[in-house]
Structures are given as C-alpha cells and as structure tokens.
C-alpha cells in the first residue's frame, strides 16, 4: 500500500515551468488571493496568480503558500480541477482550504504553518497580514473557472 505522503506515481524528472503573475484581485478567476492552474494549452507550464496587495511581503507570503500547497497536491495526486471545484462550491467560506472536507486540507494547513513561520521571519504581524485580505475587493462577475476547462 502506497503512503499518501510518498506518492511516486506523480513524480516528474524536473519541475515544470512556472509563471508568477501578480494581478489585480478583481482579475482572479474567483475570490482568492492566490491561484494556480496548468496552462490551458496542455504545456508543462503552471501559472500562479497572486493578488496585488499593499505590501510586497504579503504577496510573497501568498506566493510561498501557494507554491508549497501546489507542490504537495501534485506530489499526492490531488487534481487542481478538484481543488478549484471545491473552492467554487465553498465561496462563502473565508478559507475553503481550512475546511476539513477540502481535498487539499492537509496540504493547505501545512502551507499555512510555513507561511506563518515566514511571516515571523519577515517581521510581518500575522493579525495585520490576515486583515489585509479584507481589503481585497472581488467584483462578482460571471467568471466560472470550470467553464474554461
């Protein structure tokens, strides 16, 4: 029986190409400060959209969280499509990944631990950082992420 932590089926020889792209929060696929998805052209290219925030340290923290979460979910065979569908079904939740039934709950929570450690190292007050997400305004439009697939 294969351990979920060491799923070797999904192991690649090298990391894929990664594009990190800071965008206006209103341009996210849905109301999230960090998003990752595979290039729609089927290339081995992953996009990371990070909402522009008031402090570049905040953007960096979101990015690191997303990178760790993404790598762990890929390694463990959790599909990005399942993550996105779960997030869309739970848009009323402040943090869908923290919900126990999230397919990426474990990976999200581990990423948050690293994010908190890094925030401390950067001198970022966690409560202030956490409140900064309330300032991000997402215009609800007909942006259904799974329709792009």
- Residue pLDDT tens, the chain, 149 long: 445 555 555 556 889 999 999 999 999 999 999 999 998 776 789 999 999 999 999 999 999 999 999 999 999 999 999 999 999 999 899 999 999 999 999 999 999 999 999 999 999 999 999 999 999 988 765 444 444 43
Residue 148's nearest CA partner among 39, 44, 16, 31 is: 39
Q: What is the structure's pLDDT at 148?
A: 44
Please state the φ and ψ torsions of residue 60, each to the nearest 5 degrees. -65, -40
Q: What is the structure's pLDDT at 9?
A: 57
């Amino acid at each position: 029986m294969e351990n979920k932590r060491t799923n070797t089926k999904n192991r690649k020889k090298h990391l894929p190409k990664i594009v990190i792209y800071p965008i206006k929060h209103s341009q996210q696929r849905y109301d999230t400060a960090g998003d990752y998805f595979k290039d729609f052209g089927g290339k081995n290219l992953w996009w990371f959209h990070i909402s522009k925030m008031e402090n570049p340290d905040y953007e960096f923290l979101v990015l690191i969280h997303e990178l760790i979460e993404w790598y762990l979910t890929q390694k463990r065979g959790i599909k990005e499509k399942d993550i996105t569908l779960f997030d869309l079904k739970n848009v009323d939740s402040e943090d869908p990944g923290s919900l126990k039934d999230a397919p990426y709950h474990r990976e999200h929570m581990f990423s948050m631990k690293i994010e908190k450690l890094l925030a401390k190292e950067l001198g970022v007050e966690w409560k202030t950082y956490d409140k900064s997400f309330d300032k991000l305004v997402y215009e609800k439009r007909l942006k259904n992420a799974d329709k792009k697939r």
